[in-house]
C-alpha cells in the first residue's frame, strides 16, 4: 500500500497509506484533505491542481494533452503542476509528495 504526503499551503504535512489504483484526488477525499475536484475527476476542470515535489515529478507518466489544456486554467501553475485526478497511486509512487496550492480556480463558479 503506497504512502502519499499532502503538504498544506501552511506547510503542514499529512501522510496516508492509500490503496493501489486510487487517484491523488480520491486519496485526498478519502482522507479529509481539502482538494476540490469539482468535475469529480472527469478531466473537465483544474480544481484538483497539485504541485508535485521536484523529486517525484519525473517519476510520473507524461500528462495527456487534455490534462495540459486543463492545467492552463489552474491558479498558481508551476513547472511541476499536475491534476490530482490524473495521478494514479502505485507502489512505484510510494512516498509521493504533493503540495496543495493556496487557491483554486473553478471556471464554472469564478466567472
Instruction: Tell me how far apart the alpha carbons of residues 16 and 43 are, in angstroms, rounded to a whole number.
Output: 24
- Residue 107 pLDDT > 60: no
What residue ranges in 8-110 does DSSP mark as E strands? 13-17, 49-52, 81-83, 96-99
Pair 35, 48: CB distance under 8 Å = yes
Do the strands 3-7 and 49-52 form a parallel or antiparallel pair, or are they unpaired?
unpaired
CB crowding 38-47: b at 16 or more within 10 Å, else e: bbebeeebbb
Q: What percent of the chain has pLDDT over 90?
A: 89
What residue ranges in the chain does DSSP mark as E strands? 3-7, 13-17, 49-52, 81-83, 96-99
- List of domains in the chain: 3-99 (3.10.20.30)
- 1-23 pLDDT, tens digit per residue, is 999 999 999 999 999 999 999 99
- Residue 46 pLDDT > 90: yes
In this prediction the pTM is: 0.91
Residues whose CB falls within 8 Å of the CB of residue 55, separated by 6 or more in sequence, listed in order = 97
Q: What percent of the chain has pLDDT over 70?
A: 93
Amino acid at each position: 500500500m503506497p504512502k502519499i504526503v499532502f503538504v498544506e499551503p501552511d506547510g503542514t504535512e499529512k501522510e496516508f497509506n492509500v490503496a493501489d489504483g486510487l487517484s491523488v484526488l480520491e486519496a485526498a477525499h478519502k482522507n479529509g484533505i481539502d482538494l476540490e475536484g469539482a468535475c469529480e475527476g472527469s478531466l473537465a476542470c483544474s480544481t484538483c491542481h497539485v504541485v508535485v515535489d521536484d523529486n517525484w515529478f519525473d517519476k510520473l507518466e507524461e500528462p495527456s494533452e487534455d490534462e495540459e489544456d486543463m492545467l492552463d486554467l489552474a491558479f498558481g501553475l508551476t513547472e511541476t503542476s499536475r491534476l490530482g485526478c490524473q495521478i494514479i497511486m502505485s507502489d512505484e509512487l510510494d512516498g509521493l509528495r504533493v503540495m496543495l496550492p493556496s487557491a483554486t480556480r473553478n471556471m464554472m463558479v469564478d466567472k
